[in-house]
């Protein structure tokens, strides 16, 4: 009786591990296409609030990359701050810092925003 119980617990544990593993690959081609679409909404159509809404939805699906020329994550944080929209607070600021940290003193231009969030 006890051995059946142990097998049952092991089976439940293994099934939990298998189910909880994240096996889905992220398709960043889709991400970049959506970023370019949202960037067009912001820059060409001049609709920053719609762009904020769409990029927030995109960042729920994908980890932000902050492309070199578009800088979508940086724009999202600054636009959200400008229009008093929620951008995820300190959690997203920490993500942002890790994206810009490797580039020498790039963080220094963002210090006023970071100080406002304290």
pLDDT digits (tens, 9 = 90+) for 14-47: 777 777 665 566 778 898 999 999 989 988 989 9
Q: What is the pLDDT of residues 43-58, one digit of tens each?
A: 898 999 999 899 889 9
CA atoms of 6 and 80, how far apart (whole Å): 52
Q: What percent of the chain has pLDDT over 70?
A: 72
Q: Is 7 or 93 the better-scoring residue by pLDDT?
A: 7
CA atoms of 107 and 35, how far apart (whole Å): 23
**What's the pTM?**
0.63
Burial 56-92 (b: 16+ CB within 10 A, else e): bebbeeeebebeeebbbbbbbbebbeeeeeebbeeeb
Contacts of 50 (CB under 8 A, 6+ apart): 41
pLDDT at 86 over 80: no
Tokens 């099934």 -> residue: 15
């Amino acid at each position: 009786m006890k051995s059946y119980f142990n097998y049952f617990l092991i089976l439940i544990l293994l099934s939990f591990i298998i189910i909880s593993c994240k096996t889905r690959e992220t398709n960043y081609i889709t991400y970049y296409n959506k970023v370019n679409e949202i960037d067009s909404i912001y820059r060409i159509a001049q609709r920053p609030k719609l762009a904020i809404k769409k990029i927030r939805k995109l960042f729920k699906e994908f980890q932000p990359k902050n492309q070199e020329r578009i800088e979508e994550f940086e724009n999202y944080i600054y636009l959200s701050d400008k229009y008093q929209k929620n951008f995820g607070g300190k959690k997203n600021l920490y993500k942002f810092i890790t994206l810009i940290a490797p580039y020498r003193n790039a963080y220094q231009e963002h210090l006023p925003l970071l100080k406002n969030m304290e």
